[in-house]
Amino acid sequence: MPHLPVKFHPIKYISLVPLLFIATTLPAQDFTSLSKYIAKQVKKKDIAGLSIAIVSKDSLLWEKGFGMADKTNQIKASANTVYPIGSVSKIITASVVMRLVQEGKVDLDAPYTQYVPDFDMQKHFDDQISFTPRDLLTHFAGIPRVRALKNHTDHPEPFCGLIEEGKEEYLIAPPKTLYQYSDWGMALLGCLIENVSGISYEEFVAKEVFLPIGMETATAYPYSQIPNLTKGYDKKGKETKIFTTRTLPADGIKASVHDLSKLLQVYLNKGQASPNRFLSEQLVKEMLTDQTKNFPLGLDHQHGLGWFLGKYYDYTTTYHFGDQLPCIAGIIFFPEQDFGVAILSNTYKPDTGMKILYKAVDHMLELKSLEKKAAPKPDRKKISTNAAIGKQFQGRFATPIGVIEIKQKNHSKMKAHLWAEQKTLSGTLYNDSTIVLRKMGAKILELKIKPYHGEDYLIYHDFGKWKLAGKRIKEVDIPKEWKATVGTYKVRDFEGAYEFLTSYKMYLKDGLLIGEGTTIYPTIPTFQIVLRPINNQQAIVEGAGGDLLGETVPLESYQNKPMIRLAGFDLIKQ
């Protein structure tokens, strides 16, 4: 990664940054109860440090740090503590791309290869590789989630190395077909930015985003060059390494909540960064417009250009969350209600972090005397499992949480067995073609079947949206070459990357070839996949909508032992 050139060091520009907004702060007592609540949560949940900021389009309303940024040296967290912002970095990258669009240097609907002609990947479909910058910004380009090999390491290689490394890898689908949240895809946008601008991503983002917006401590440069940077802490409060990442444009930016408050204000002001315009009002409007509603499997993803779109009660909201382990990040704003919230924490407790963020949102709605109206309950009736929809649900589905096998239990109930977790849920069918899965009476999942091109996709209801959850598993004959892969595996060479894949095994179960592994990455520490061989040397990871799903896994031989490649890792049978 290049060294930080002095002429573009954000700290050097502090005196040159225009006064963006007059901080006419609300009376302190307006946030006293919120402050007490956050302090209590930080202590109760053993969060080492957390920072939060709340803004309107014209004002910094409130910002504060809680706990410690560095427990060893007793440095308190503040609004100016710098944290890795994880996937919130994608909003920075999207903003850079839109700056290039504004300058007439990038067409969102031109083929990506127009800007990065060296790009190529393998595919199982006949169409030409034709995805666009717009497809990458919405995660509908067909790019896999991430190439994990070399991604998390103390000394990441340049992310544009993915162009060459990806030439032997496979796309998961044609563009505009399947949603696959992709750090890899966002890194490809970073390569576009470098090719079009002629300078490094790090330098360009400092010049084109941080400087004009006034994000004084934000940087895309390595950790060693950042003052006021937090330490990282695990769930037990022990200091731990902060992961560094290769996919810099996807999740490698570092910033404070004060920096993020200024980013939020630009979008609340429809692109204005007083006294200059950062983006045209029309381009901001396009960024905040659902790009995927007309896609066959766009469902309710409601994805803008970089931003996620949605509803919180009756209120339109725009947001992005992320993590760079063990740190978490979140930004959210309400254009019509004129406020936004940014939160950063150095302890991996995302549930608590998001609980605090939405408590701040609720606090702002209360201050503005705005009602929270719950969505009306669906008007539907229970139906017999003997109905046609009951038969449609029966079968096995590959999902991000492993295999879900749905069967009829009796005339009124279905049952769903979660293979990976070895749990069984009770299911009730309704006349709106949904099944609601419950455990001890509590609703766990609400599912529907979405047919498309002869396949049955499983979709689930989440915060008012229908999203992709998986796909019905196709049973195929398993060639003897793949049957011989059954056993335990080890990574051949981590090549300097963090050794977060701790175990992996392959086994046969009820006619399916299953892969199962454990990882130190804490979101899903155990994962389960179904491999569907398409020939003697390749298999597809069944399913859609989650990490690894849809990827191609090659089978090779290493020292007369089976070797598979998963997310870039060579795994050798022991």
If you search the block for the tokens 């096998």, which residue do you land on?
Answer: 405
What residue type is assigned to position 560 of the chain?
N
- pLDDT the model gives residue 135: 97
339 DSSP 8-state letter: E
- Are residues 339 and 126 in contact, defined by beta-carbon separation less than 8 angstroms? no
- Are residues 231 and 237 in contact, defined by beta-carbon separation less than 8 angstroms? no
Report the Cα–Cα distance between both ends of the chain, in Å, rounded.
36
Mean pLDDT score across all residues of the chain? 89
Per residue in 521-556, pLDDT tens? Answer: 555 578 999 999 999 999 999 998 888 889 999 999
Residue 24 has pLDDT above 50, yes or no: no
- DSSP characters for 135-201? HHHHT-S---S---TTTBBSSPPPTTHHHHHGGGSB-SS-TTT-----HHHHHHHHHHHHHHHSS-H
- Are residues 527 and 516 in contact, defined by beta-carbon separation less than 8 angstroms? yes
- pLDDT the model gives residue 10: 30
- pLDDT the model gives residue 146: 85
Phi, psi dihedral angles at 68 (to 5 degrees): -120, 135
- pLDDT the model gives residue 15: 30
- pLDDT the model gives residue 149: 72
Per residue in 122-147, pLDDT tens? Answer: 999 887 889 999 999 999 999 998 88
- pLDDT the model gives residue 523: 52
- Strands, E assignment, 59-148: 60-70, 75-76, 83-84
Q: How many CB atoms lie within 10 A of CB 380?
A: 13
- CA distances to 95, 202, 283, 357 from 98, rounded to whole Å, are 5, 16, 7, 28
Beta-bridge partner residues of 332:
319, 341
Residue 12 has pLDDT above 60, yes or no: no
Which two structure tokens, joined as six digits, stand for 327? 């740190």
- State how beta strands 49-55 and 60-70 pair: antiparallel
Q: What percentage of the chain exceeds 90 in pLDDT?
A: 69
Instruction: Give the gyration radius of the chain's Cα atoms.
Output: 24
- pLDDT the model gives residue 18: 35
Please state whether the peptide bond connecting residue 2 to the residue before it is cis, i.e. omega within 30 degrees of 0: no
- pLDDT the model gives residue 86: 95
State the pLDDT confidence band at 204, using cuts at 50, 70 and 90: very high
Q: What span, in angstroms and rounded, lies between the C-alpha atoms of 450 and 298?
A: 11
Q: What span, in angstroms and rounded, lies between the C-alpha atoms of 467 and 399?
A: 12
Contacts of 260 by beta carbon, 8 Å cutoff, 6+ apart: 53, 85, 88, 215, 331, 342, 344
Q: Which of 52-56, 107-111, 419-423, 530-534 has the lowest mean pLDDT?
A: 419-423
Which two structure tokens, joined as six digits, stand for 341? 């919230």
The stretch 246-258 carries a mean pLDDT of 95
Phi, psi dihedral angles at 144 (to 5 degrees): -60, 165
Per residue in 449-458, pLDDT tens? Answer: 999 989 999 9
- b/e string for 276-302 if b means 16 or more Cβ within 10 A? ebbbeeebbebbbeebbeebebbbbbb
State the pLDDT confidence band at 152, using cuts at 50, 70 and 90: confident
State the pLDDT confidence band at 325, using cuts at 50, 70 and 90: confident
Contacts of 176 by beta carbon, 8 Å cutoff, 6+ apart: 135, 140, 295
State the pLDDT confidence band at 2, using cuts at 50, 70 and 90: very low
Residue 20 has pLDDT above 70, yes or no: no
If you search the block for the tokens 């060294």, which residue do you land on?
Answer: 3
Per residue in 159-195, pLDDT tens? Answer: 999 999 999 999 999 999 999 999 999 999 999 999 9
Contacts of 62 by beta carbon, 8 Å cutoff, 6+ apart: 25, 26, 30, 31, 34, 52, 53, 54
Phi, psi dihedral angles at 361 (to 5 degrees): -60, -45
In this structure, is the dihedral angle defined by the CA atoms of residues 404, 407, 409 and 412, taken in order, positive or negative?
A: positive
- pLDDT the model gives residue 521: 58
Length of the chain: 574
- pLDDT the model gives residue 391: 87
The stretch 358-387 carries a mean pLDDT of 88
Contacts of 335 by beta carbon, 8 Å cutoff, 6+ apart: 267, 268, 288, 316, 318
Name the residue with higher pLDDT: 155 or 405: 405
Global confidence as pTM? 0.91
Q: What span, in angstroms and rounded, lies between the C-alpha atoms of 237 and 258?
A: 25
Q: What span, in angstroms and rounded, lies between the C-alpha atoms of 326 and 46?
A: 14
Q: What span, in angstroms and rounded, lies between the C-alpha atoms of 296 and 213?
A: 37
The stretch 291-304 carries a mean pLDDT of 89
The stretch 442-451 carries a mean pLDDT of 89
- pLDDT the model gives residue 372: 86
What residue type is assigned to position 362 of the chain?
D
- pLDDT the model gives residue 557: 95
Long-range pairs of 459-467 with CB within 8 A, sequence gap ≥ 24: 459/299, 461/434, 463/310, 464/300, 464/310, 464/311, 464/375, 465/299, 465/300, 465/301, 465/302, 465/310, 466/299, 466/300, 467/179, 467/299, 467/300, 467/301, 467/545
- DSSP characters for 380-435? --B--TTSHHHHHH-EEEEETTEEEEEEE-SSS-EEEEETTTTEEEEEEEBTTS-E
Q: What region, left, alpha or beta, does residue 543 occupy, with left being phi > 0 and alpha being psi -120 to 50 degrees?
A: left
